[in-house]
Amino acid sequence: MLSQLKVFISSSLKNRELNARIAKLLEERVFRVYLPQRDTPQSDNVKTVFNANVNAIKEADIIITILINHGRDLGFEVGLAYGLGKPIIALVSSKDYIKDKMIAGALTDVAWSVDELLEKVTRFKVAGNDY
């Protein structure tokens, strides 16, 4: 069902407010959003956090990655999503994102603003998952 597409947001906690804003905007557009800062059990147990995020990526229809202030975990999340054949749309703020060649190479598309990101994710939804 198109209205139930699942989105995983891969981003640094440094972007907490931006992440929450994007999640809210997507949920208003009837996407099911997994935002790790909100939806992953907050635990000191590494396996709990790891397994929750891996399972959420596996279940997602599309991955959004915020390439602003990103850290090491993002590279793993993008690599896993790429390996699973998930479409990955990145929000970027400068052309510096191409310095991380393995991340940049895994991307399906790039957006330069939140509005453009929402447009691209919505286009994915309308296209029936065929990005």
pLDDT in tens, 76-126: 999 999 999 999 999 999 898 888 899 999 999 999 999 999 999 988 766
What pLDDT does 119 receive? 94
Q: What is the pTM of this model?
A: 0.91
The model's confidence at residue 127, banded by pLDDT at 50, 70 and 90, is low
Residues 51-57, mean pLDDT to the nearest whole number: 96
- For position 2, what pLDDT does the model report? 46
Q: Is the pLDDT of residue 43 over 90?
A: no
Residue 131's nearest CA partner among 35, 61, 56, 54 is: 61
Where in the chain are the domains? 2-126
The amino acid at residue 38 is: R
pLDDT at 126: 62
* pLDDT tier for residue 129 given thresholds of 50, 70 and 90: low
Report angle CA 100, 102, 103 to the nearest 5 degrees: 65
* Higher per-residue confidence, 23 vs 73: 23
Record: fold of 2-126: Rossmann fold (3.40.50)
